[in-house]
Amino acid sequence: MTYTNILTETRGRVSVVQLNRPDAMNALNTALLKEVMQAFEVFDRDEAVGAIVVTGNEKAFAAGADIKEMADLSFLEIQNSELIASFERILNIKKPIIAAVSGWALGGGFEFVLACDMIIASESAKFGLPEVTIGVIPGAGGTQRLTHVLGKYLAMEVVMNNRKLSANEALQFGLVNRVVPVEGYLESAVAFAEEIASRAPVAIRMAKDSINAAFETTLAEGLKVERRNFYPLFATQDQKEGMKAFVEKRKAEWIGK
Ligand code: CO8
C-alpha cells in the first residue's frame, strides 16, 4: 500500500503507523485520516499483526484537525465532510491500538489519542483541547472520552479554559499508561505493544470488546457482554493450549484460533 501522509512498518508482531505531516505539526486533514484508517484496517485483517502502534514525531503527535482545511467550511459542509466519518472508523478496529505520544496532542490530535486503547507518553507530551480558542468545541469525542477519565470538573477546565496537561499530570490522572524518556519513546511503545501482541490473539480481541462495552452500557449489560465474550473462548484452540501449557509449565504457542 502506498501512502503520502503516513509511514507504516511492521516490527515483529507490531505494526507502526506514523503520522507524517511534520511541516503542519501532523494536523489531521481528511486525506491523512483516511490513510490512517486504511492502514489500521489492513493491519487489523493481517493475522501476523498482534497490535498497532500509532505515533507522530518527537515534537507533535498531532496539533489537531487541520484548521486550514476546516476554516471556510459551512455548517452543512462540516456535517457532510469525511473528516469525522473517517475518524469514526477507528471504532471498528478489533486489535489493540497503542498511541505513542511525544510533544503536542491537541484538539483532534488528543481526541485521536483518547480513541486509542492504551497510551504511552514521552516526558515531553502535552495534551489539550484548545477548540474554544478558535470558536468551536471538540467534535471527535473529546467532551465524552475525556470526561470519562478525568471526571466533570477537570474536563470542564480542559475544554473551557484550554488547560494543558503535562505527561506527568496525565499519568497522575490515569490518562496514560506510562511516561517514558523522549529518546526512544517509540521503541518503548513498540516493546509495550509487543508484550500485548504476545498474548492469545482472540482473547485480546474479546478483552478489548468487553472493556469498551463498559463505556457504552449499564453494568448489567456490560457483564452480559463480558460473559458472551468469555464462553466462546472455550471453543478456541488457544484456550486449550493456554491452559495445557500452564499445567505443563511451558510457554503457550498461540495459533490465533
Ligand atoms: N491545523 C493546520 N495547521 C497547523 C495546525 C492545525 N491544527 N497546527 C499547527 N499547524 C501549522 C502551523 O500553521 C504552521 O504552519 P506554517 O509554518 O505554514 O505557518 C506549522 O504547523 C507549525 O506550527 P507553529 O508555527 O504554530 O508551531 P509552534 O511550535 O509555534 O506552535 C502549536 C505549536 C502550539 C501546536 C501551534 O501550532 C498551535 O496552537 N496549533 C493549533 C492547535 C489547535 O488549535 N488545535 C485544535 C484544532 S481544532 C480541532 O482539532 C477540532 C477537532 C474536531 C474534530 C476532529 C476530527 C479528526
- Of the pLDDT bands very low, low, confident and very high (cuts 50, 70, 90), residue 26 is very high
Expressed in angstroms and rounded, the spacing between residue 253 Cα and the centre of ligand 1 is 46
d(CA 25, CA 21): 6
Q: By percentage, how much of the chain surpasses pLDDT 70?
A: 100
- Of the pLDDT bands very low, low, confident and very high (cuts 50, 70, 90), residue 1 is confident
Which atom of ligand 1 is nearest the CA belonging to 60? 35
Per-residue cell: 244: 495445557
Model confidence pLDDT, tens digit, residues 171-225: 999 999 999 999 999 999 999 999 999 999 999 999 999 999 999 999 999 999 9
Which are the catalytic amino acids?
A: 65, 108, 111, 131
Expressed in angstroms and rounded, the spacing between residue 208 Cα and the centre of ligand 1 is 32
The residue-averaged pLDDT of 95-121 equals 98
Model confidence pLDDT, tens digit, residues 29-85: 999 999 999 999 999 999 999 999 999 999 999 999 999 999 999 999 999 999 999
Residue nearest to atom 42 of ligand 1 (CA): 63
Per-residue cell: 150: 478525568
Expressed in angstroms and rounded, the spacing between residue 174 Cα and the centre of ligand 1 is 26
The residue-averaged pLDDT of 124-146 equals 98
Out of 37-46, 83-92, 160-169, least confident range: 83-92
Q: By percentage, how much of the chain surpasses pLDDT 90?
A: 98
31: left (phi over 0), alpha (psi -120 to 50) or beta: alpha
Mutate to test the pocket of ligand 1, among 23, 67, 86, 124 (most ligand atoms within 8 A of CB): 67
Q: Tell me what pLDDT residue 194 has.
A: 98
Residue nearest to atom 53 of ligand 1 (CA): 139
Which atom of ligand 1 is nearest the CA belonging to 109? 50
- Of the pLDDT bands very low, low, confident and very high (cuts 50, 70, 90), residue 134 is very high
Which atom of ligand 1 is nearest the CA belonging to 140? 54
Residue nearest to atom 11 of ligand 1 (CA): 24
Average pLDDT of the chain, as a whole number: 97
Residue nearest to atom 52 of ligand 1 (CA): 108
Would you tell me how many other CB atoms lie within 10 Å of the CB of residue 86?
A: 19
Per-residue cell: 95: 486489535
> Residue 254 pLDDT > 90, yes or no?
yes
Q: Tell me what pLDDT residue 170 has.
A: 98
The residue-averaged pLDDT of 9-19 equals 97
Pocket around ligand 1 at a 6 A CB cut-off:
24-25, 27-28, 63-68, 83-84, 87, 104, 106-108, 111, 130-131, 134, 138-140
Give one DSSP letter per residue of the chain, joined into a string.
---SSEEEEEETTEEEEEE--GGGTT-B-HHHHHHHHHHHHHHHH-TT--EEEEE--SSEEE-SB-HHHHTT--HHHHHH-HHHHHHGGGGG--S-EEEEE-SEEETHHHHHHHTSSEEEEETT-EEE-GGGGGT----SSHHHHHHHHH-HHHHHHHHHH---EEHHHHHHTT--SEEE-STTHHHHHHHHHHHHHTS-HHHHHHHHHHHHHTTTS-HHHHHHHHHHHHGGGGGSHHHHHHHHHHHTTS-------
d(CA 9, CA 193): 14
d(CA 185, CA 65): 24
Q: Tell me what pLDDT residue 136 has.
A: 98
Please, how many CA atoms are within 13 Å of residue 48, restricted to the half-sphere of its CB? 6
